Structure 1
Amino acid sequence: MNETVKKQLPDKQERHKLFGSVEPGPKTKPIEKEQMKDLQNTRKDFLFELDAVGISNVKHPVIVNSSLTPETQTTIGTFYFASSISQDSKGTNMSRFTEQLQTYYENGLVLTLETLKSFVYELRQRLEQKDAEVTVSFPWFFERKAPYSEKAGLNHADAWIKVHYDQDEGYDVRVGVKGKITTLCPCSKEISEYSAHNQRGNIEMEVLLNEDFDEDKLDWKFILLEAAESNASARIHPVLKRPDEKMVTEQAYENPRFVEDMVRLVASDLYEIDEVERFFVKCINEESIHLHDAVASITYDKRDEQSV
């Protein structure tokens, strides 16, 4: 029987030296924070004020409340933090953004509008700037039952919150949802002897909320999702048995929609919500008989209307 001969390797320190590691050199600069030079806090004329300086693509676990099942869910938030900086400021202190995020996380980070308003207010103070902003996007899950069998499954949509605070102008709060729907082509239905082609539509909505919006009474995620889905040819379902598929197919045939129709119908629903001051709606249809997509969008600001 042959014996296995093991390699005789140098110890780990010697292996590191083999691949280029060297002994630490002399250290002459201070190690205490108070004694270190702070370049970012240098004050002189740096030519321009900056609109925004910060960090992005910060991923962090967050808790989201929902009026749909599951009512409380843990998901992943992707954060963007920033503030403007004055002309006499060299830069910002990047670590303060994540320090504050960790503080909120340790106290239980539930994504509510009030929580994020407090966050940016305190962040502005910590940064010693006139404003601060945070954007957090996250996948939001909700239960969807099939129309006939009532078999349940989870759908998801992309949601986001943007909160900006300025010491002179106050808060600017915007929320958005991007979800998927079914649309059936009205032109195809009109010209064909039978059948009609359909497609998956991608609806994106972002609204500016006024100060009267009460998150305890209204779930903005549900409001935006319902504005999209209730105006579609049909809703998207995670589980469909044959009787369900028949119902969904027939519903789509009974409610044909162009992308132009979709954005106008969704805009009408958002227009009727008093707490929405401004809205943006975009629909992209992934065409089933073309390689291209069909696109339409609307931006409307109710504050521009003339009072009678």
Structure 2
Amino acid sequence: MENIKIKSLPNKEERHRLFGSVPPGPKTKPTEKNKMSDLQNVEKDFLFDIDTVGIANVKHPIFVNSNLQPTHQTTVATFQFESSISKNNKGTNMSRFTEQLNQYHEQGFTADLSTLKSFTYELAQRLGKDDATISVAFPWFYERKGPQSNLVGMNHADISITVSYDAKKGYSVVASLSALITTLCPCSKEISEYSAHNQRGNVTMEVTFTDDFDDTSLDWKELLLEAAESNASARIHPVLKRPDEKIVTEQAYENPRFVEDMVRLVAADLYEMTFVRKFKVSCRNEESIHMHDAIASLTYDKEK
């Protein structure tokens, strides 16, 4: 369509009217908060208790501490906040969730267990409830060097932490880490005259911490990452020169792994971690010569 030169435009107010804007109507309802109706706090028999109510998919910057470089980093987290309500309450005050999040942000929100526990306790108090839960998911970055060149690049793993507070039961902390690895097929290596197919795998570990665990003494992220990577055929690298690539591919050939092997080997490492009470390990390989993915998972509770 040919553009026709416009000689002059109506002013912005006239343009808005042209596209449907109308003047404000009469205002009859109160503007002072103490005079406004609060439907969420209505108390009546509303038939059922609600297990959880809250807000989800809240993106916000946070700080993360790490034993690996960079030791103090900023990342973007996705939050979810929940609490229960009884059948005698109509709803919850959604604004209180984000109000508290902003207060913690102003203080420098670091996603460690101590801070998250304090957050859930204070959130329960703010809501006037006996329980509250915070879930936070974020990418955690760490430096990785080429095995011979020592050239540095940045890798990342996906972290999630869920902290629940209950006035009677105390705290519950569940965390997960998902990391990418390389796996080389043992069957392909066994039956082929030369070479073997390999693929990228994704190992996910979901762990429940012991009640007395405090992450100020050790970095659980680093330990879970090592459990995944040290049991793989080879590690993933952001920067590889030819001498590095030779080392990595030969290492993968020397350490073939099925998905079944991966979950069992990682489970053995988690079993030896005294701060882990129970865990689930899963692995998904994006097969390079098949149309499907290969998957395996394993769950173990040390207290049973």
- Shorter-chain TM band: over 0.9
Q: Which residue matches 1:262?
A: 262
TM-score relative to the length of structure 1: 0.96
State whether structure 2 residue 82 is matched by structure 1 residue 79.
Answer: no
- The CA deviation at 1:125 is 0.7
Residue 208 in 1 paired to residue 208 in 2?
yes
TM superposition shift of 1:6:
4.8
Give 1:63-142 correspondences, 5 Å limit: 63-142=63-142
| Secondary structure, aligned partner of 1:243 | helix
Structure 1: gaps (5+ residues): none
Distance in 2 between residues matched to 1:40 and 1:130, nearest whole Å: 17
**Is 1:272 the equivalent of 2:272?**
yes
Is 1:38 the equivalent of 2:71? no
Provide the residue aligned with 1:149 in structure 2. 149
What amino acid is the match of 1:136?
Answer: V
Q: Judging changes above 3 Å, is the alpha-carbon distance between structure 1 residues 221 and 5 closer, same or farther for their aligned structure 2 residues?
A: closer
After superposition, where does 1:2-21 map in structure 2 within 5 Å? Answer: 6-21=6-21
Query: What is the identity, as a one-letter code, of the residue corresponding to 1:157?
Result: A
Q: Which amino acid aligns with 1:258?
A: F
Residue 280 of structure 1 aligns with an amino acid whose one-letter code is K
Q: Deviations over 1:207-244 (max 9, x none)?
A: 00112223122101101100000000000011111111
**2:243 aligned residue:** 243
In structure 1, C-alpha distance between the alignment counterparts of 2:64 and 2:84, rounded to whole Å: 29
Residue pair 1:175, 1:220 contacting (<8 A) in 2 also: no
Give the alignment of 1:53-72 within 5 angstroms.
Answer: 53-72=53-72
Q: 1:286 aligns to what?
A: 286
For these two proteins, the number of residue pairs brought into alignment is 301
Structure 1 residue 9: deviation in Å? 2.1
1:5 CA drift (Å): 7.0
Q: CA deviation at 1:41?
A: 0.4
Unmatched 5+ stretches in structure 2: none
TM-score of the aligned structures, taking structure 2 as reference length = 0.97
In 1, Cα distance between equivalents of 2:95 and 2:88: 20
Q: Distance in 2 between matches of 1:203 and 1:283?
A: 4
Q: After the TM superposition, which of the residue ranges 68-77 and 17-26 deviates more from structure 2?
A: 17-26
Contact 2:209 2:275 in 1 (8 A): yes
Matched position secondary structure for 1:17: helix
| Alpha-carbon distance in structure 2 between the residues aligned to 1:26 and 1:237 | 64
Distance of 2:196 and 2:23 partners within structure 1: 73
SS at match of 2:101: helix
Query: How big is each residue's C-alpha offset from its partner over 1:131-180, in whole Å with a ceiling of 9 and x where there is no partner?
Result: 10001111110001111111111101111111000111110011111110
Decide whether the 8 Å contact of 2:174 with 2:209 is kept in 1.
yes
Q: Which runs of 4+ in 1 moved over 3 A?
A: none
What RMSD in Å do the two structures reach over aligned CA positions? 1.1
Distance 1:106 1:269 in 2: 38
Check whether the contact 1:65–1:73 (CA below 8 A) recurs between aligned residues: yes
SS at match of 1:106: helix
Q: How many angstroms apart in 1 are the aligned matches of 2:223 and 2:135?
A: 20
- Does the alignment pair 1:196 with 2:196? yes
Aligned partner of residue 116 in structure 2, secondary structure: helix
Aligned equivalent of 1:23: 23
Please give the alpha-carbon distance, in whole angstroms, between the structure 1 residues aligned to 2:25 and 2:238: 61
Following TM superposition, by how much is the alpha carbon of 1:10 offset from its aligned partner in structure 2, in angstroms?
A: 2.0
Percent identical among aligned pairs is 68
Residue by residue over 1:70-93, the C-alpha shift from the partner in whole angstroms, topping out at 9 and shown as x without a partner, is 000011011000111111110111
Paired residues of 2:55 and 2:81 also in contact (CA < 8 A): yes
CA distance in 2, matches of 1:175, 1:124: 21
